[in-house]
Chains A and B, each alone.
Chain A
Amino acid sequence: MAKANKHRARNGILSLFTNLILWVFSLSCVFPLIWMLYSSLKEKRVFNADIIGLPQSPTLTNYIRILSNEDYHLAEAMTNSLRTTVLSILLIVTFSFIVGYILSRVRFKLNRPLYVIFLMGMLIPVHSLLVPIYVVFRSLDLNDKWYTLLFPYVSFGLPIGIFLVEGFVKSIPISLEEAAAIDGSTFSNTLWRIILPICRPILVTVAIIQVFSCWNEFSFALVLMKSVQLQTIPLALTQFKGQFASDYPKQMASMLITMAPIVILYFVFNREIIKGMVAGAVKG
C-alpha cells in the first residue's frame, strides 16, 4: 500500500511539472496576442503609466484614429495584401497543377530538364535575389506596380507546389486516364474534368502553405515597392513603427487590425492548416 501511494505521489508531481512546462510554453505563444488585445483599448497615457494592467475604462479611440486617418493608408495596405495574396495563390495553384501533372505523366524530351530546373528553385537561397531582382525589375520598369510582387511570390511558391502535385499524381492510378482516353476525352478535358477534382486535397495544401508566406512576406515587398498606395501590410507596419514610435497602444491596434484575417483563419481552420503546413514541410 505504502509503495503504491509513493508511486502515485511521484506520478502526481511528474504530471504537475509536465503540464506546467507545457502551459508556460503555450501561454507564452498567445500571451502577446492577449496583451495587445487589451492594451490597444488603453490610451497612450494610461498604458505608459501601467503597461500590464487591464484597462479601467476601455476605449476604441486608437482604432478609430487609425482607421479614419487616411494618411496611414491602412485600408489600402489591406486591399493590396489581399489582392496580391489571392492572385498569387490562384496562379501558384493553377501553375503547380498543370506543370506538376505534365511532369508526372507526359513523356517528352524536356521532361527531366524541366523537372530539375523547377526543383532547383527549392535549393536557391532566395535572399541572394533581393538586390538582383530590384536591378532587373527597375531596368524593365516592372517595379512598383500593382502586379510586381506576383512575380517573386509565384516563382518562389511554384517549386514546392509542383513537387507536391507531381508526387500526388503519381499515386493516382493511370487506368483512370486510359479509360477516359478510350471514351474519347482529350488531354485538356481529362486534365480539368477528371484530374483536377482528384487533386483537390493536395491543391488545398499548396494554397494553405502559400497563404501565410504571401500575406507575411516582407523583404521583397520592401525592395520592390516604393509608393505608399501600393504597400502591403508588413511594409505599412514598419512605417507605423516609425510614426507611432512611442505610442504602443496605437502600434498594437494597427498590428491587430492587420493580423485579424490571419488570426481568425488560423483559429477556425487550425487543424487543416497545421496538417497542410506539416505535409508541405516534410515532403518538401
Chain B
Amino acid sequence: MLETIRPKKRTLYLYLLLPLIIYVFTVFVPLVTALFYSFFEWKGGPEKAFNGVSNYIQLYNDATFWKAFGNNIYLVVACLVGQIGIAFFLVLLVNSRQARLKSIHRTFGFFPSTISAVCIGMIWAMVYHNKYGILNWFLTTVGRPDLCEVWLNDTQHIMLIVTIPLIWQFIGYYMVIIFSAVASIDSEVFESAEIDGANAFQTAMRITLPLIKNTMLVCVTLCIAGNMKAFDNIYTMTRGGPGTASMVMAMYGYKISFEQSNMGYGSSISVGIFVLSLLVIGGSQWLVKRITRQVEV
C-alpha cells in the first residue's frame, strides 16, 4: 500500500464514482429488480399483481424448465469431456517429438474461438442442412445416403447435434491454455521419465496431468461457467426446438419473457438461473477441490 502520496478523498471518490455507478446499475440493480418482480403476475403491461411465491411454485413444477436445466448439465458434461479431453490429447500430440509445424496448429486451432457464436451457429446450420449441407453430401458421397436426415429436426439426438459445434469451437481455446501450462514444465522431468522407461500414456497421466493440475481446474471452471450460460448457438440453430428438445435455461427465460411476454414468470426464471448456475459452479469447485485433495493424500 502507498503511504507517501495519499490522494485527497475527493479526488479518490471522483475517480471511482463513474465506474462504480455504471457497474452497480447494470449488474446489481437488475438482480434486485428481478427478485422483486418474481413475486408478481406481470404480462409486461402496466398492470402488475402481487401473487406471492406462486411463480416459484410454478417454476418448481415446470417440466420444461427442469428439462432445460438438464440440457445445460448435458452441455457441461459433454464439453468437459469433449473440449478439455480432446484438447489435452491434442496438446500431447503437438508436444510429441514427431509433431511438425506446431505454430500452424495453434493458429488454426484457436481461430474458431474468435468467431461469434452466431456465425458458428449459422455455419453449422449449413453443415447440417438436409439438402445443401456438407454432412449429407458427405454421407451420399461415401455411399451411405440412407443415413441422411434432417439433422436439426432429430428430436432424439438434437442435444448431441447442437453440442458438437460448441465442442469444436473451443477445443483450440483450451488447447492453447493447456499447451502454455505444459510448456512451462521443466523438460528434464520428461527426460528422466523417458530414461526410467515410462511410456507415453504413463507420462501423460502420471507426470503431465498432475503438474498442470491448477490449469486444468481453471479450464474446468471456465467450461462449466461457459456452458451454464449457453444461448447464442442454440438461438441460431434451433431456438430450443424441435419442440423443447434442445431448450436451455437462458433460451427458456428468453422465450417466456419475450415471446410470451410473461415478465413476472420470466423474472422468477432469471432468479432460478442465477441460483442454479451459482450452485453448479460452486458445487463443482467444491467437488473438484475435494477430489484433488484426496488424490494428494
Contacts and interface: CB of A to CB of B under 8 A. Distances in A.
Given A51-B132, A118-B23, A151-B26, A128 B271 contact: yes
Interface in A80-138: 95, 98-99, 102, 105-108, 114, 117-118, 121, 123-136
A241 B15 contact: no
Given A32-B123, A121-B27, A177-B4, A262 B37 contact: no
Interface in B242-290: 249-250, 253-254, 257-258, 263, 266-267, 269-271, 273-274, 277-278, 281
Interface string B1-45: 111111111011001101110111111011101100100000000
- Of A28, A47, A219, the most chain B CB neighbours within 10 A belong to A219
B111 interface: yes
Given A106-B2, A131-B254, A237-B122, A266 B278 contact: no
Contacts of B108: 26-27, 29-30
Nearest to B90: A25
Q: Mostly helix, strand, loop or mixed at chain A's interface?
A: helix
A273 to B, nearest CB: 7
Contacts of B98: 11, 14-15, 18-19
Contacts of A132: 30-31, 33-34, 37, 267, 270
A181 B12 CA distance: 17
A277 interface: yes
Contacts of A181: 4-5
Interface residues of A, number: 94
Interface string A198-217: 00000000000000100111
B215 interface: yes
A262 B96 contact: no
A237 B109 contact: no
A78 interface: no
Given A19-B100, A237-B119, A278-B176, A47 B27 contact: no
A125 to B, nearest CB: 4
A128 B269 CA distance: 8
Contact of A158 (B19, B104, B110, B232): B19
Given A15-B98, A158-B23, A190-B5, A21 B107 contact: no
Top 9 A-B residue pairs of the complex, sorted by shortest distance between their CB atoms: A216-B116, A132-B30, A15-B98, A125-B277, A132-B34, A187-B7, A128-B274, A155-B26, A127-B229
Given A106-B6, A185-B5, A237-B119, 13 more contacts: A125-B225, A127-B273, A128-B274, A128-B277, A129-B31, A131-B270, A135-B37, A151-B25, A181-B4, A212-B114, A216-B114, A219-B231, A278-B176
Interface of B: 1-9, 11-12, 15-16, 18-20, 22-27, 29-31, 33-34, 37, 90, 93-94, 96, 98-100, 104-112, 114-119, 122-123, 125-127, 129, 131-134, 137, 168, 171-173, 176-177, 180-181, 215, 218, 222, 225, 228-229, 231-232, 235-236, 249-250, 253-254, 257-258, 263, 266-267, 269-271, 273-274, 277-278, 281
